[in-house]
A and B are shown apart, each in its own frame.
Chain A
Amino acid sequence: MDKLIEQFSLGLFFWQLILFVALVLLLKKFAWKPILNAVNDREEGILKALDEAENARKEMQNLTADNERILKEARVERDAMLKEAREMKDSMITEAKSEAHAQATKVIDQAKATIESEKHAAITEIKNQVAELSLEIAEKVMRNELSDKNKQIKLVEDMLKEVKL
């Protein structure tokens, strides 16, 4: 310990203190501040870049999700549209079918009615003609029959025969 105290040099202490404090201050101004700032800036830059990349990735993910969602929606919409169209088609077909059916029934009914009426008319005419013809024939026959007396008597007799009492 004595040796230490004896060795102690005030001058060296003084210079070391002055020079060292000056060195700290000078280096602080000219070196450490710029260096640490640069390093900090760089680190912040890296962090920011990483953050940005992360954000971009998330955005990308969102975008993909969005795309997928839109695609899904479109698919659903398409499906819905298709379904609607199909339904429409079906309904149209059924409607058309029923209409056609109704029309057909109507036409058939009409036709039937016409046929019926035509038939009726025809039958009536036939009846009339038959009646006319019968009358003519009956007239002719009558005339023929009634031209001769014998025959008249015979007729009367025949008729009388037929009448059974």
Chain B
Amino acid sequence: MYKINLLKTLTFLFFAITISVGATNNTDQTSSAEQESPVKNLKIEIKEYINHHLLDSYDFTFFSYTNDAGEHKYVSAPLPVILIDNGLKIFSSSKFHHGESVAEVDGDYYVVYHNKIYKTDALGTIESDEAHHATNEKPMDFSITKNVVFIIFVGLFMLLIFSRMANSYKNNPMPKGIGRLFEPLILFIRNDIAIPNIGEKHYRKYMSYLLTVFFFIWIINLLGLTPLGVNVTNNIAVTLALALVTYFITTFSGNKNYWKHVFWMPDVPWPMKIILAPIELLGTFIKPFSLMIRLYANITAGHIVMMSIIGLMFVFKNWIGSSLSFGLALALALLELLVAALQAYIFTMLSALYFGSAVEEHDHH
């Protein structure tokens, strides 16, 4: 039964991806067809589009197009911008007009430059140094950006799904509906990730975190593959937050044995102990750092490659090249489906491994 359900879901996701590829295709076609630009410009446009797609944004843009009059039109929903700059300042991102104009709030002027908000004057001047980094003052930015919206959305979605699943157990010991899909996954995380890596004795404490992080990364990675264009996990800030939580849990649950292995490795001669201590200490930081980089880089690389290949469809202006790159994009989309789950699995698995090493009992090799 589970297998069939899983198959159904996979089939559904497959179609979702196919449609997403098609949808991206359509929006691009309108802009490229109407601009009639040479290949060089098209390439630049694709590159910009990809770069733009990878970044967070202050409004929720569904798609943009250039109308007959040559104006760039956006179909989007504005989101709140929250700044801390001489007090809390909250205003709608529609004031920026998609980064095209200066927003004036309570006598201060702000502008979006390279996807960051800078304080500026009424004209929106950006001063920059030799390396083209803006030197304007940067206010503390706690805006509800597109990615934050999606984090909230995924959080609510997970709460809804899993609390309903929890409720369904009240009357019936067997899972119902969506629970039939998720229960094997929950059991997989418990039996194949938590128990073997952390141990029968301590694993219960970490289950909530492991389950949440697995489903959070997985769902948000899958959402990144939809035409909505969300890329939450390809922001280093998001993966840093996730990795930091793992780091703190590992550090705070580390027992005597763990710290002994870090600072004074047992069963090695004392000169080695002195050499090993800084390495091991560094290792405790490198572990979450590699978690952060891995998730970020995998998802980013996947998106860049996939979008580049989709972009190739418009660069090749013949049916062989375009259909070839379409096939390649489709195959990559399927691979990305796997990567979405695999990265969630690896993140959870390595977190569990680190927790396991932190709570490992004193057993001598």
Q: Say if A and B assemble together.
A: yes
Nearest CB in chain B to that of A27: its residue: B212
**From residue B12, how far is it (CB to closest CB) to chain A in Å?**
23
Is A41 a contact partner of B173 (Cβ separation < 8 A)? yes
Nearest CB in chain B to that of A16: its residue: B241
Given known contacts A4-B236, A7-B235, A17-B241, is B144 in contact with A23 (CB within 8 Å)? no
Stretch of B15-23, B90-98, B157-165 on the interface side: B157-165
Is B141 a contact partner of A22 (Cβ separation < 8 A)? no
CA A15 – CA B163 in complex, angstroms? 23
Is B237 a contact partner of A8 (Cβ separation < 8 A)? yes
The number of chain B residues with a CB under 8 A from chain A is 48
Residues of B144-173 at the interface with A, using a CB-CB cut-off of 8 Å, are 144-145, 147-148, 151-152, 155, 158-159, 162-163, 165-167, 169-170, 173
Is B162 a contact partner of A20 (Cβ separation < 8 A)? no
Q: Does A137 contact B (CB under 8 A)?
A: no
Is A16 a contact partner of B166 (Cβ separation < 8 A)? no
Flag A7-29 by CB within 8 Å of B: 1 or 0 each.
Answer: 11111111111011111101110
CA A70 – CA B160 in complex, angstroms? 63
Stretch of A30-38, A51-59, A80-88 on the interface side: A30-38
Q: Does B7 contact A (CB under 8 A)?
A: no
Is B211 a contact partner of A27 (Cβ separation < 8 A)? yes
CA A24 – CA B248 in complex, angstroms? 14
Nearest CB in chain B to that of A46: its residue: B173
Is B142 a contact partner of A14 (Cβ separation < 8 A)? yes
Nearest CB in chain B to that of A34: its residue: B166
Residues of B42-70 at the interface with A, using a CB-CB cut-off of 8 Å, are 55-56
CA A22 – CA B159 in complex, angstroms? 11
| Main secondary structure on A side of the interface with B | helix
CA A32 – CA B190 in complex, angstroms? 11
CA A30 – CA B141 in complex, angstroms? 32
CA A57 – CA B63 in complex, angstroms? 68
Contacting residue for B162 out of A4, A9, A10, A31, CB 8 A = A31
Q: Does A42 contact B (CB under 8 A)?
A: yes
Flag B111-127 by CB within 8 Å of A: 1 or 0 each.
Answer: 00000100000000000
Nearest CB in chain A to that of B240: its residue: A13
Contacting residue for A35 out of B169, B212, B236, CB 8 A = B169
- List A contacts of B141 (CB < 8 A): 9-11
**From residue B167, how far is it (CB to closest CB) to chain A in Å?**
8
Is B236 a contact partner of A36 (Cβ separation < 8 A)? no
- Interface centre among A16, A33, A39, by most chain B C-beta atoms within 10 angstroms, is A16
Is A35 a contact partner of B165 (Cβ separation < 8 A)? yes
Q: Which 9 A-B pairs have the closest CB atoms?
A: A31-B162, A38-B169, A34-B166, A28-B208, A13-B237, A16-B241, A12-B237, A30-B163, A17-B241
| Given A9-B237, A34-B170, 5 extra CB contacts under 8 A | A9-B56, A16-B238, A32-B207, A33-B208, A42-B173
Instruction: Give A residues with C-beta under 8 Å from B.
Output: 4, 6-17, 19-24, 26-28, 30-36, 38-39, 41-42, 45
Instruction: Give B residues with C-beta under 8 Å from A.
Output: 55-56, 82, 116, 133, 140-145, 147-148, 151-152, 155, 158-159, 162-163, 165-167, 169-170, 173-174, 183, 186-187, 190, 204, 207-209, 211-213, 216, 235-238, 240-242, 244-245
